Amino acid sequence: MTNSERVLDVLIVDDDDADTLMIEEALLAASPPPAVHRVSDGSEAIDYLRRRGRYADAGRPDLILLDLNMPRMSGHEVLAEVKGDDTLKSIPIVVLTTSNALPDITASYTRHANAFVTKPMDLDGFEAAVGKIKKFYNEVAVLPGDTER
């Protein structure tokens, strides 16, 4: 199977319903549309990734789109926990946030984010940014699970 034929499995970790809806719409407009899952905070993300509680049957995502500013557990905390876990650290994480603050950028890369993208404020720019992320991870990048597909 070529990269462009695979169905990318994406986990969105974002507490903002409007942003999540725009991310989902941009992802699902792409061909082939990815499988999209969403959790609304960092604690849920860790439960999802570790298949705990209501996420016992969750699959392993190919890509995580992670907001930084969330209740209970921030995106920085999620990054540190995921990238510090030998069973999870190979999952690419793109920080997709409203912040463009240098401390957030530096902290994200220090915690091994694979990319940092500031959410554009206009709808067209937002959709284009998400589309480029999807295109890169679906058509260009070779992901850990690709050899098993």
pLDDT digits (tens, 9 = 90+) for 72-93: 899 999 999 999 999 999 999 9
Residue 146 is predicted with a pLDDT of 64
Q: How many domains does the chain have?
A: 1
Its domain, for residue 118, covers 3-139
Structure tokens at 62: 């190919």
Q: What is the dihedral of CA 121, 140, 13, 91, to 10 degrees?
A: -150
pLDDT in tens, 15-26: 999 999 999 999
Residue 1 is predicted with a pLDDT of 45
Average pLDDT over residues 58-64: 95
Average pLDDT over residues 66-71: 93
Residue 48 inside a domain? The answer is yes
Distance CA(147)–CA(144), nearest Å, equals 7
Residue 90 is predicted with a pLDDT of 95
What is the domain-level CATH number for residue 30? 3.40.50.2300
Residue 90 inside a domain? The answer is yes
pLDDT-based confidence at residue 29 (cuts at 50, 70, 90): confident
